[in-house]
């Protein structure tokens, strides 16, 4: 059932349309997850969901701020082992959110004491995700856990199994999946209109400049005994956990996880092999590879898709971060940063002609001396009229869909370069989680999907260490 699109002059605003589309998309996608028996629509109080946060560091604060504007969300407890982070977050929630939270060092005490908690947000270092998530699920709470689901496959698998056993919702924090631009790109551009034709290759990157390690504010150090109690070697590793093997999966898991998740999500499948190269090339004080380059091979019904991904320590001019889906008729470069997003057409894809008026689509240079330099238009127009899915020929028989533009229907205008307005990038994913609790809509990144992504991402580190091609067995993606 396609999402309805307002006809020209429709009274639906763009915001309403997006919300309607997103809901319908979520509804359509809901069936398999609901069928798995998750307890949904179970927020005990229809008006207020009472939330606890475990991990009050950088991302925990971002998530709290992103959740704040969502109606009916109230923080009732926060937990962190570091008093500096715990106290500042509790103070802010009380003073700015005007919500009365209790603060805990020990998550077990929090779960045992604050009975009214409905949902727990986990934003601790990756090696603690399984312990915190499993405990919260077993205490009867729904959980939103940050990515990477876990730094080990076993940890991630245990989380899927606990969510299944407890019939509680577990959303993994791959927030691009709830971003309306990403949803439009996948559902309308790639799947429905097939504007890229057959996707043959993907590339993606996160290139960033060298940064200093995190320090500790004066007087905020924890004692060696306390650090050891929670598994940290020292204050430096506690603050810079993402670079150490015991606590995290390195930049591939820290940054690559977001984007490689989108490879799996866009193609609707998992890879069959991985080869990679990387090393600790730059930093002297880190364990994890600071440069890593991976190649995956995805089997799809249209044929093999080869995908490269690299996360590099370089300069700020290294091209930033994006995912680039390349087909035989067009290419889509998409990023969480809207300014990097571009849609290109191939000159020999005539059915695109009616849509080239929309300047978000770029014509490649053709003819003598053409460089095929796919430079973007300077000012993308706001409106993009897309063809509807009118499969002809083999599409009807389940083959590749081909769009007949003579039968196009205007979908609503959608600006691929649009920002989320006043919403933080995490807000739609949190909204999806709370809507799953309240209304039973499908999670956009349920535990099973987070698990597949963790398996896909962690294989890169394994392949770098092994210095050889590694294959995935279909069973690897089952939890
Ligand atoms: N979705 C995104 O865009 C995004 C962005 C950044 C980070 N993250 C994820 O968020 C998580 C946190 O990352 P961060 O950047 O906020 O790290 P951070 O170091 O800033 O914060 C982690 C917090 O967890 C606390 N903590 C550590 N061990 C704990 C324990 N045993 N119990 C309770 N609290 C504990 C620390 O004191 C710290 O305050 C990671 O999983 C990371 O991958 C996601």
Domain total in the chain: 2
Confidence (pLDDT) at 318: 79
- 36 vs 199, more confident: 199
- 471 vs 339, more confident: 471
Span 146-163, average pLDDT: 98
Confidence of residue 339 (pLDDT cuts 50, 70, 90): confident
- How far apart are the CA of 193 and the centre of ligand 1, in A? 39
Confidence (pLDDT) at 399: 38
Who contacts 389 (Cβ-Cβ below 8 Å, separation ≥6)? 2, 192, 193, 194, 401, 403
- How far apart are the CA of 62 and the centre of ligand 1, in A? 11
Out of 60, 125, 238, give the residue to mutate to test ligand 1, the one with the largest number of ligand atoms within 8 Å of its CB.
Answer: 125
pLDDT per residue over 91-106, tens digit each? 999 999 999 999 999 9
The answer to the question of residue 139 being in a domain is: yes
The answer to the question of residue 291 being in a domain is: no
The answer to the question of residue 189 being in a domain is: no
- How far apart are the CA of 99 and the centre of ligand 1, in A? 22
CB-CB contact of 287 with 271 (8 Å): no
Q: Is residue 134 scored above 90 in pLDDT? A: yes
**Residue bearing the CA closest to ligand 1, atom 33:** 80
**Residue bearing the CA closest to ligand 1, atom 8:** 59
Confidence (pLDDT) at 257: 98
Question: Which residues have CB under 6 Å of ligand 1?
Answer: 54-60, 79-82, 85, 107, 123-126, 128, 146-147, 173, 175, 230, 254
**Residue bearing the CA closest to ligand 1, atom 18:** 57
pTM: 0.83
On average, the pLDDT of the chain sits at 81
The answer to the question of residue 197 being in a domain is: no
Query: What's the CATH number where 162 sits?
Result: 3.40.50.720
- 21 vs 431, more confident: 431
Out of 124, 159, 426, give the residue to mutate to test ligand 1, the one with the largest number of ligand atoms within 8 Å of its CB.
Answer: 124
**HSE-CB of 8 using CA atoms within 13 angstroms:** 5
Closest residue by Cα to residue 386 from 5, 115, 13: 5
Taken in order 8, 12, 13, 15, is the CA torsion positive or negative? negative
The answer to the question of residue 251 being in a domain is: no
Q: Is residue 71 scored above 50 in pLDDT? A: yes
pLDDT per residue over 122-132, tens digit each? 999 999 999 99
- How far apart are the CA of 80 and the centre of ligand 1, in A? 10
Confidence (pLDDT) at 342: 80
Confidence of residue 184 (pLDDT cuts 50, 70, 90): confident
Question: Rounded to whole angstroms, what are the CA distances from 425 to 92, 154, 446?
Answer: 21, 29, 18
- 352 vs 161, more confident: 161
- 67 vs 381, more confident: 67
Domain boundary among the residues 415, 447, 463 is at 415
- The residue range of the domain holding 377 is 342-415
Per cent of the chain over pLDDT 70 is 75
The answer to the question of residue 90 being in a domain is: yes
- CA of 55, closest atom in ligand 1: 24
* Residue where the block lists tokens 């060298």: 210
Report phi then psi at 29, rounded to 5.
-75, -10
The answer to the question of residue 160 being in a domain is: yes
Domain boundary among the residues 150, 176, 202 is at 176
pLDDT per residue over 211-232, tens digit each? 999 999 999 999 999 999 999 9
Confidence of residue 429 (pLDDT cuts 50, 70, 90): very high
Domain boundary among the residues 415, 442, 464 is at 415
- How far apart are the CA of 463 and the centre of ligand 1, in A? 26
- How far apart are the CA of 232 and the centre of ligand 1, in A? 14
The answer to the question of residue 362 being in a domain is: yes
């Amino acid at each position: 059932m396609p999402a309805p699109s307002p006809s020209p002059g429709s009274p639906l605003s763009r915001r309403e349309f997006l919300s309607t589309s997103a809901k319908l998309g979520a509804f359509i996608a809901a069936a398999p997850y609901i069928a798995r028996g998750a307890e949904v629509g179970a927020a005990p109080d229809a008006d207020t969901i009472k939330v606890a946060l475990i991990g009050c560091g950088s991302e925990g604060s971002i998530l709290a701020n992103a959740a704040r504007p969502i109606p009916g969300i109230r923080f009732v407890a926060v937990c962190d082992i570091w008093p500096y982070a715990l106290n500042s977050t509790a103070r802010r929630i009380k003073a700015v959110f005007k919500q009365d939270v209790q603060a805990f060092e020990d998550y077990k005490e929090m779960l045992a004491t604050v009975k009214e908690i409905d949902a727990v947000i986990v934003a601790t270092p990756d090696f603690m995700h399984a312990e915190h998530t499993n405990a919260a699920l077993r205490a009867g709470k729904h959980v939103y856990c940050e990515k990477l689901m876990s730094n080990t496959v076993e940890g991630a698998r245990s989380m899927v199994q606990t969510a299944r056993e407890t019939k509680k919702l577990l959303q993994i924090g791959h927030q691009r999946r709830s971003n309306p631009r990403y949803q439009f790109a996948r559902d309308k551009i790639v799947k429905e209109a097939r504007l890229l034709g057959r996707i043959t290759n993907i590339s993606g990157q996160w290139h960033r400049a060298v940064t200093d390690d995190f320090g500790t504010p004066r007087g905020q150090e924890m004692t060696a005994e306390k650090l050891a109690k929670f598994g940290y070697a020292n204050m430096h590793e506690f603050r810079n956990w993402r670079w150490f093997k015991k606590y995290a999966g390195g930049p591939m898991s820290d940054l690559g996880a977001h984007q490689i998740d989108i490879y799996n999500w866009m193609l609707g499948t998992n890879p069959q092999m991985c080869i990679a190269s990387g090393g600790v090339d730059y930093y002297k004080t880190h364990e994890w590879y600071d440069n890593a380059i991976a190649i995956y091979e995805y089997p799809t019904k249209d044929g093999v898709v080869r995908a490269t991904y690299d996360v590099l320590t370089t300069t700020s001019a290294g091209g930033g971060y994006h995912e680039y889906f390349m087909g035989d008729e067009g290419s889509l470069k998409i990023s969480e940063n809207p300014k990097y997003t571009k849609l290109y057409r191939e000159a020999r894809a005539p059915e695109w002609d009616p849509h080239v008026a929309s300047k978000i689509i770029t014509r490649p240079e053709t003819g003598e001396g053409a460089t095929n330099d796919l430079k973007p238009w300077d000012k993308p127009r706001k409106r993009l009229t897309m063809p509807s899915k009118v499969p002809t020929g083999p599409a009807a028989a389940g083959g590749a869909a081909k769009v007949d533009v003579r039968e196009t229907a205007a979908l609503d205008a959608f600006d691929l370069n649009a920002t989320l307005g006043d919403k933080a990038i995490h807000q739609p994913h949190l909204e999806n989680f709370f809507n799953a609790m309240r209304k039973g809509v499908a999670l956009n990144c349920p535990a099973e999907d987070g698990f597949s992504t963790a398996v896909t991402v962690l294989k890169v580190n394994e392949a770098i260490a092994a210095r050889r091609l590694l294959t995935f067995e279909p069973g690897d993606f089952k939890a």
